Amino acid sequence: MSLRLSVLDQSPIARGRTPADAVRETLELAQLCDRLGYVRYWLAEHHSSEALAGSAPEVLIARVAGLTERIRVGSGGVMLPHYSAYKVAENFRMLETLFPGRIDLGIGRAPGSDQKTMRVLADGKPNWGSADNYPLQVRDLEAWLHDALPGDHAGHGVTAQPVGESAPDVWLLGSSDDSAALAAHFGLPFCFAHFINPDGGDGVTRAYRAHFRPSSLHPQPMPLMATGVLCAETDEEADLLAKSRDVWAMRLRTTGNPGPIPSVEEALEAARDPRVEAFLASMRRRSLVGSPATVRAGLEEHAARYQVEEIMVVTICHDFAKRKRSYELLAREFGLTPL
């Protein structure tokens, strides 16, 4: 079976452009990926970030789905501990009603922000946003989506409208074995974030398969992995373009406040520092960078190691035209079916 490709979009804000520009680029890129034949287009959730504009995936999903024709659209993901599982179920039942059969609900437990922003999201409520309740939230979310709360549940009789014939597919997202174990327990699809943690994801995915408990909706495990990708005409060009994301990711992990995605020129200047150069090598392990043939070989190796038939790619660089070109080259290399 040919490897299927999907897209995770974090709505990156490039140096010299605005958050509104980043959102407009998301809409344009989604329409392009729909035409190119990608399977899914997921929108990320981050808060109070100078680099990532996607703060409300459920809002962006509605706009993206309305602008596209066949691609599945979803969250990558909703950070569930911040919210009421019931309200998330309502939001996504509405999206499923508007775009039946095309909505994915990816959920995660990371804050998608710093601790101060997390406290603001909690709005002073004690223990609001705590990850300790996450398994119960996942259970309740699934039940509300399918109007299947047990009779002894405190919310029994409360309905997540609009009830319909279909419901969005729920995916658990994670970069460790905790979320994989939870997905296996509930019989849900699982996506491992290799672009966040490049170590051990293949073992996590194997464990998910081994411990998967079949559910009424998913009799078989559905693993997916997400990795950074930057594809250009040549390995040399791709390596140069990728330095913007490498430097930005390094700043994120070393300072917590990386700012917008730097230009290639700014990134090259930063990379002159020998200490930075060594750090950048570790950043590159989270991504595949190169010509179409180089990236294809890397993706096929990931697919074999993770035992997946679909890979989600996230591409960040300073130049939006080059970012679009990366998806075009990848689609052509894999022979995706265009509209």
Mean pLDDT of 209-226: 97
Could you tell me which residue, 83 or 114, shows the higher pLDDT? 83
Output the DSSP codes for 117-163. Answer: HHHHHHTT-TTTT-GGGHHHHHHHHHHHHTT---TTSTTTT---SSP
Output the DSSP codes for 236-302. Answer: HHHHHHHHHHHHHHHHHHHHS---SBPPHHHHHHHTTSHHHHHHHHHHGGGEEEESHHHHHHHHHHH
Could you tell me which residue, 45 or 279, shows the higher pLDDT? 45
Mean pLDDT score across all residues of the chain: 94
Beta-carbon contacts of 273 under 8 Å, excluding residues fewer than 6 positions away, are none
Of 88-102, 199-213, 250-264, 286-300, least confident by mean pLDDT is: 250-264
Closest to 104 in 3D by CA, of 147, 56, 72, 143: 72
The model's pTM: 0.95
User: Would you state the structure tokens that stand for residue 227, as one six-digit string?
Assistant: 């990795």
Q: Residue 254's pLDDT band (boundaries 50, 70, 90)?
A: confident
Share of the chain above pLDDT 90, in %: 83
Q: What is the CATH number of the domain that holds 58?
A: 3.20.20.30
User: Would you state the structure tokens that stand for residue 332, as one six-digit string?
Assistant: 């052509």
pLDDT attached to residue 157? 92
pLDDT attached to residue 129? 54
Closest to 103 in 3D by CA, of 57, 135, 149: 57
Closest to 47 in 3D by CA, of 131, 94, 115: 115
Alpha-carbon gap, residue 61 to 323, rounded angstroms: 20
Of 14-18, 50-54, 268-272, 277-281, least confident by mean pLDDT is: 277-281
pLDDT attached to residue 63? 98
pLDDT attached to residue 162? 96
Mean pLDDT of 90-106: 98
Three-state SS at 16: coil
Closest to 9 in 3D by CA, of 76, 70, 109, 69: 76
Residue 275 belongs to some domain of the structure: no
The yes-or-no verdict on residue 318 having pLDDT over 90 is: yes
pLDDT attached to residue 130? 63
Residue 34 belongs to some domain of the structure: yes
Residue 263 belongs to some domain of the structure: no
pLDDT attached to residue 128? 57
Residue 279 belongs to some domain of the structure: no
| 123-151 pLDDT per residue, tens | 866 665 566 789 999 999 999 999 999 99
| 6-43 pLDDT per residue, tens | 999 999 999 999 999 999 999 999 999 999 999 999 99
The yes-or-no verdict on residue 248 having pLDDT over 70 is: yes
Output the DSSP codes for 41-68. Answer: EEE----S-SSB--S-HHHHHHHHHHH-
8 A C-beta contact, residue 44 and residue 76: yes
Q: Residue 65's pLDDT band (boundaries 50, 70, 90)?
A: very high
pLDDT attached to residue 20? 98
**How many folded domains does the chain comprise?**
1
Beta-carbon contacts of 202 under 8 Å, excluding residues fewer than 6 positions away, are 305, 306, 307
User: Would you state the structure tokens that stand for residue 95, as one six-digit string?
Assistant: 């999206």
The yes-or-no verdict on residue 112 having pLDDT over 80 is: no
Domain span holding position 114: 4-230+288-334
Residue 270 belongs to some domain of the structure: no
Residue 17 belongs to some domain of the structure: yes
pLDDT attached to residue 131? 63
pLDDT attached to residue 245? 94
8 A C-beta contact, residue 198 and residue 282: no
pLDDT attached to residue 274? 80
